[in-house]
């Protein structure tokens, strides 16, 4: 080893040792604070700089990553419904390249099509306002979009582009990324918890301890290490994801686990700040009780500090995911809880389902856990009865929780019905045969009585165990969906199911002896 380098290391170690010996608590606190601060900054900004769905500084232009559910979007554009004027309009404004790419598209990821669609949409939203009341008659516009729409005459070109993008986001909420909406809320929370608070603590602490501790060289070195680590930390998964996308090899599982590791950064921040609380307590002189004396007499060694940090850290690391997985599902749905749930509870593979389902029903007032149940149970049963199920049919007729279109939505039915019927269908692989079993069991649980004519949702029907004929058809559709059979109501309000090739009227239930109205 170079003698000069060796000498500088020896000097640095000696200096560190003297600092530790002179002001052990100040020193270790400062180190902890610095780590917490850097981690917090990294957590708030670093991730957003690298993660494609959480970019902070973004224009209204579409990138191909914004079209996250390509299959669904392509279906909409390729065969627009008669009532879907907007999709028809978009379809007529696609370039030849995109139209050709759409024609040969057979599902799954298609980078070329995504790019072409993004370019066409960018061209469209920059051309002028795309708003037409006929196009958006059936679209539920967000309040922000409505506000902006009210000022169309005064908008600049950039704002008009933004408005167009927001209109498209509202029209295709499950296909087009709403990163402006989703990231902003968690960004401000992250900024407060992980950056502003640690910055304030760091400044105060170092100004108090200034003169007694010269930790700046150490801090500079830590910054360097963490920045390098940060880059490595994100570059690796991003490149792995690209390799996965290019179908070089299949690494979905390690990628998902890698995402779980990102939780630990937050854990370190929380741990640092919790340890800090005790230090503040001691520094500000509230330590008149026996703990202080005990601490004074107990020598602080590196082993003990590491041991303590390991205990606290592992405790918090355990508590954090447990809290997320137990407390969050019991909280009511709001933009904030949805944002957190999407980030921590939904695996990347299910994010598209998550965005679809949140866009199709009135979820306010429902618990987050109900939403998660719908997504996870539907996903588990995705291939129970169909070898290949079109993503569009899966989302619209298996995953979708909204059957009744009632003012007071009742959406907490999937787990109840699935637990009731699925045990009888474990070995069944044919949708029609399974539907026969479902309808027989359902009829034994739910009676048909025309007196129950009030239009209520699935939960109420299940609780009352009686309903009228229309209500029975609704709960029949729900029961079929709960076990993974694609089902919908016909125009005559009869349940019909997807056999894998075509729609057919679902097996009829045993009738009622009571006169129909």
Partner 1 sequence: MKLLFRGAKGRNLEGQFIMLARQDVGLTHIGMSWLARIICFALVSSIVTVFVGCVLHHAKAEPKHILLSLRMADGGDVGGIVVVPTLRAKYPVVICSPGRDGNAHDFQSELDQLANLGFAVVSIEHAQSNQALFDQQFIALARYLEGQPWAQSNAAAWVDLGGGSPNMLGLLLRHPEIQPQLLVTVSESRRWELDAVYSALRLDSEASAQWKTNPMPIHCPVALVQDGPPSKLPAQAMEAFLGLLRARGISVVRETLACEASEFDDNRPGVLRAAVEYCRAHLPLADYASAFPECGVNPTQREQFNVGMQRAGLNRRELWHAVASTRGVEQHTMMVVIGYLEDYDLAHIQAAHLKEVIHVAWRARRQYSWCREAPLDIFEKFTANPRVFEEPSERFQDFFRQRLRREIKYCHTTEEACNAIWRWMHRRVEWRRPVDLSAEQGAGATPRQVLDQGFSECSGMVILYTALCRSIGLPTRPASTIWQLTSLGHHWTEVWSVEEKQWHANDCSAEDRPYGADWLLRVPKAVIHAPAGIRGTWNGIAEGRFDAFTNTVGLFYPSGQVTVRVLEHGAPVRNRFVLAENLAPDRLVTAARAKTDVGGEAHFTLGASARQPYRFSIDQSGDTDWQWLEVKSNNLVDLVLNLGCKRPFDKKTDLPPALTILGSRPAKEANK
Binding interface with partner 1 (CB under 8 A): 140, 142-143, 146, 362, 364-365, 406-408, 410, 440, 443-445, 447-449, 451-452, 454-457, 459-460, 462-466, 508, 510-514
Nearer to partner 1, 377 or 409 (CB): 409
CB of 409 to partner 1, least distance (A): 9
CB of 440 to partner 1, least distance (A): 6
CB of 126 to partner 1, least distance (A): 28
CA atoms within 13 A on the CB side of 146: 5
Nearer to partner 1, 315 or 511 (CB): 511
- Alpha-carbon gap, residue 162 to 168, rounded angstroms: 10
Q: Give alpha helix (H) positions in 345-427.
A: 351-360, 368-380, 391-394, 414-421
CB of 141 to partner 1, least distance (A): 8
Closest alpha carbon to 369 in 407, 405, 416, 403: 416
Q: Give alpha helix (H) positions in 177-289.
A: 179-190, 197-209, 216-245, 252-283
β-pair type (466-467, 447-448): parallel
CB of 447 to partner 1, least distance (A): 5
Q: CA 369: distance to chain centroid?
A: 13
Q: How many CB atoms lie within 10 A of CB 184?
A: 14
Nearer to partner 1, 146 or 304 (CB): 146
Give the 3-state secondary structure percentages of the chain, helix then strand then coil, rounded to 5: 65, 5, 30
Nearer to partner 1, 125 or 448 (CB): 448
Nearer to partner 1, 25 or 443 (CB): 443
CB of 492 to partner 1, least distance (A): 14
Nearer to partner 1, 121 or 458 (CB): 458
CA separation, residue 210 to residues 204, 215, 262, 280 (Å): 10, 9, 33, 16
CB of 90 to partner 1, least distance (A): 24
Within 8 A by CB and 6+ apart from 415, the residues are 373, 377
Nearer to partner 1, 296 or 514 (CB): 514
Nearer to partner 1, 142 or 274 (CB): 142
CA atoms within 13 A on the CB side of 459: 13
β-pair type (487-489, 495-498): antiparallel
Nearer to partner 1, 3 or 150 (CB): 150
CB of 505 to partner 1, least distance (A): 14
CB of 178 to partner 1, least distance (A): 16
């Amino acid at each position: 080893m170079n003698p000069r380098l060796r000498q500088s290391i020896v000097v640095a170690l000696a200096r560190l040792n003297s600092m530790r010996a002179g002001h052990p608590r100040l020193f270790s606190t400062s180190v902890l604070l610095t780590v917490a601060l850097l981690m917090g900054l990294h957590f708030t900004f670093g991730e957003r700089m690298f993660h494609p769905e959480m970019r902070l500084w973004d224009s209204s232009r579409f990138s191909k990553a914004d079209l996250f559910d390509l299959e669904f979007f392509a279906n909409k554009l390729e065969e627009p419904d008669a009532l879907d004027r907007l999709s028809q309009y978009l379809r007529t404004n696609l370039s030849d390249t995109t139209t050709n790419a759409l024609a040969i598209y057979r599902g799954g990821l298609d980078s070329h099509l995504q790019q072409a669609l993004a370019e066409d949409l960018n061209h469209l939203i920059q051309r002028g306002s795309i708003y037409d009341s006929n196009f958006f008659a059936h679209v539920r516009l967000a309040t922000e979009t409505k506000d902006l729409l009210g000022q169309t005459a005064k908008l600049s070109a950039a704002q008009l582009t933004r408005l167009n993008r927001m209109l498209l986001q509202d029209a295709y909420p499950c296909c087009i990324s709403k990163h402006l909406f989703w990231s902003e809320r968690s960004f401000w929370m992250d900024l407060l918890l992980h950056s502003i608070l640690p910055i304030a603590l760091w400044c105060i602490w170092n100004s108090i301890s200034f003169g007694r501790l010269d930790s700046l060289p150490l801090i500079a070195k830590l910054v360097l290490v963490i920045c390098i680590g940060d880059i490595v930390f994100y570059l690796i998964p991003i490149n792995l994801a690209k390799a996965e996308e290019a179908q070089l090899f299949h690494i979905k599982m390690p990628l998902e686990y890698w995402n779980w590791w990102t939780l630990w950064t937050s854990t370190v921040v929380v741990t640092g700040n919790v340890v800090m609380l005790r230090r503040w307590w001691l520094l500000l002189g509230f330590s008149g009780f026996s703990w202080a004396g005990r601490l004074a007499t107990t020598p602080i060694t590196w082993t003990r500090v590491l041991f303590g940090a390991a205990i606290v850290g592992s405790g918090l690391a355990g508590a954090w995911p447990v809290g997320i997985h137990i407390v969050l599902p019991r909280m009511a749905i709001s933009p904030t809880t949805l944002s957190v749930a999407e980030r921590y509870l939904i695996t990347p593979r299910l994010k598209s389902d998550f965005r679809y389902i949140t866009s199709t029903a009135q979820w306010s007032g429902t618990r987050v856990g109900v939403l998660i149940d719908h997504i996870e149970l539907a996903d588990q049963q995705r291939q129970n009865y169909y070898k290949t199920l079109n993503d569009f049919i899966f989302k619209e007729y298996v995953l979708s929780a909204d059957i009744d279109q009632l003012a007071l939505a009742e959406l907490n039915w999937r787990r109840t019905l699935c637990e009731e019927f699925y045990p009888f269908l474990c070995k069944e692989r044919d949708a029609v045969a399974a539907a026969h079993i479902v309808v027989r069991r359902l009829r034994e649980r739910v009676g048909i009585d025309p007196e129950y004519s009030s239009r209520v949702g699935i939960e109420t029907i299940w609780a009352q165990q009686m309903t009228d004929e229309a209500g029975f058809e609704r709960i029949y559709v729900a029961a079929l969906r709960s076990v993974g059979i694609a089902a919908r109501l016909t125009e005559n309000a009869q349940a019909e199911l997807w056999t894998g090739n075509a729609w057919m009227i679902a097996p009829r239930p045993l009738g009622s002896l009571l006169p129909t109205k």
